[in-house]
Amino acid sequence: MEPEESPSRPLIDEIHSNGDIGVDEPSRSKRPIISSGEQLDVEAYASLYQGRTKIMRLLFIADHCEGNPGMRLEALRMAYDEIKKGENTQIFREVVQKIDGKIGLDYVMDSVWCDMVDRRAEQKKEKLENELNAYRTNLIKESIRMGYNDFGDFYYAHGALGDAFKSYVRTRDYCTTSKHIIHMCMSAILVSIEMGQFTHVTSYVSKAEQSSEALDPITASKLRCAAGLAHLEAKKYKLAARKFLEAGPELGSHYNEVIAPQDVATYGGLCALASFDRTELKHKVIDNDNFRNFLELVPEVRELISDFYSSHYASCLDYLGNLKANLLLDIHLHDHVESLYDQIRNKALIQYTHPFVSVDLRMMANAFKTSIAGLEKELEALITDNQIQARIDSHNKILYARHADQRNATFQRVLQTGSEFDRDVRSMLLRANLIKHEYNLRASRKL
């Protein structure tokens, strides 16, 4: 490789040393690389959440690990136990059907429980309707608000998300304080996330943030996480990263009905890697004290971000490869894993080639643990897409950078500046002569 004459010599040295895979790095050998065969601990994962999202995440794992029947049955068993703590008989019947008697007699259809819950639900619904009608007759705004809110909670508990959303939104007309409006927004956001209606999430996050009352740190962090999920779903990874990075450590497990702090680190870290440049990655992620608290919960993400910034691409890609199977089981991230991974890898390739006039593709292939033919195809795509200014010598396996002629570019800028200066001076002289001979004044007198 022939490095350019550039002040960023330490970076070049780091990249060059990374290409030489024979270099012994004692300090890096101590870093824990997670095993590629490490399976998701379903029980530990589920313990991070509560409520409906815990059940839905378990069912998502069960539906997306067809090649691992043990994990699938474990997820269904835990979902069965969790559902029995609530009142959603519809989803209970679906889980029993999926289990299909494969776990044992303790996990079969419980018709007695379903009938009891449904009967109790009918009684509670009738009671809530009577109370709400009485409140509306008396025209007590606070009582009506509470009545609709209770209806929202009732529908949410029984899985009727559409009705729950309508009930929560109806409380808006009866909100008398900023706290009431924020509570309504948070309830609407929760149900919208469960329904996958992320346009509603963005709308109600905005309404809550515009509240006249200052938000407490926990609520502010919840809103940022909700906005981050909405941007993630829309594939606006840079905006998503910014929102997750703004979440404060006070969030803790206060929002585990939607997202765990480990998720904030993973979603924020991967979105930042895919969309931030080196400067942003340094200032907004690595030097971010608040976000570092989240990263400490997921050491693999912390290490891969550090490796990416330090240009240790082989190690970074190892971490990404080891995390991939588990990330594909994440209910919010699974649709974005391939896209994020491609963007991160492309950024690594661009960052690797940037400081050099020429790059030996053999060394680069070793650094990225790929074949030379595969690397050539990736570089061809980036060159075609105008992301790398270079050309490939396929015979000698060398990438030559097409750097602009700095000398010629400087002369062009000087000539352009001179032309602009000449034009400006002529304009000023013309204006001065017009004023001197009172041209405008005379014209106005003739009129």
pLDDT of residue 403: 63
Query: Is residue 363 predicted with pLDDT exceeding 90?
Result: no
Residue range(s) defining the domain that contains residue 390: 356-420
Contact status, residue 229 vs residue 193, Cβ threshold 8 Å: yes
From 24-33, 159-168, 288-297, the region with the lowest mean pLDDT:
24-33
What number is the average pLDDT over the span 186-196?
Answer: 94
Name the residue with tokens 């060394």: 363
The CATH number assigned to the domain holding 396 equals: 1.10.10.10
- Name the pLDDT band for 17 (thresholds 50, 70, 90): very low
Query: How many other CB atoms are there within 10 angstroms of residue 369's CB atom?
Result: 13
Structure tokens at 133: 């009608």
Q: Which residue has the higher pLDDT, 16 or 373?
A: 373
Please give the angle made by the CA atoms of 122, 124 and 130, to the nearest 5 degrees: 105
Query: How many other CB atoms are there within 10 angstroms of residue 362's CB atom?
Result: 13
155: in domain: no
For the beta sheet containing 2-3, the strands, ordered from the edge strand earlier in sequence to the opposite edge, are: 2-3, 356-360, 398-401, 390-393
- Name the pLDDT band for 18 (thresholds 50, 70, 90): very low
pLDDT digits (tens, 9 = 90+) for 228-273: 999 999 999 999 999 999 999 899 889 999 999 999 999 999 999 9
Q: Which residue has the higher pLDDT, 266 or 355?
A: 266
pLDDT digits (tens, 9 = 90+) for 87-101: 999 999 999 999 988
pLDDT digits (tens, 9 = 90+) for 58-117: 999 999 887 788 899 999 999 999 999 999 999 999 999 999 888 888 888 989 999 999
How high is the mean pLDDT of the chain? Answer: 85
266: in domain: no
Distances (CA, A) of 216 to 141, 248, 251: 25, 11, 11
186: in domain: no
Please give the angle made by the CA atoms of 187, 234 and 347, to the nearest 5 degrees: 135
Q: Which residue has the higher pLDDT, 424 or 372?
A: 424
CB-based contacts of 269, cutoff 8 Å, min separation 6: 285, 295, 298, 301, 302, 304, 305
pLDDT of residue 227: 95
Q: Which residue has the higher pLDDT, 383 or 271?
A: 271
Q: Which residues sit opposite 359 in a β-bridge?
A: 399
197: in domain: no
pLDDT digits (tens, 9 = 90+) for 127-158: 999 989 888 888 888 899 999 999 999 999 99
| Total tally of structural domains belonging to the chain | 1
363: in domain: yes
- Of the candidates 180, 175, 229, 242, the one whose C-alpha atom is nearest the C-alpha of residue 202 is 229
Query: How large a percentage of the chain has pLDDT more than 90?
Result: 53
CA distance 127 to 308: 59
* DSSP conformational letter for 282: I
**No. of helices (H) and no. of strands (E), the chain:** 23, 4
pTM of the predicted protein model: 0.77
402: in domain: yes
308: in domain: no
81: in domain: no
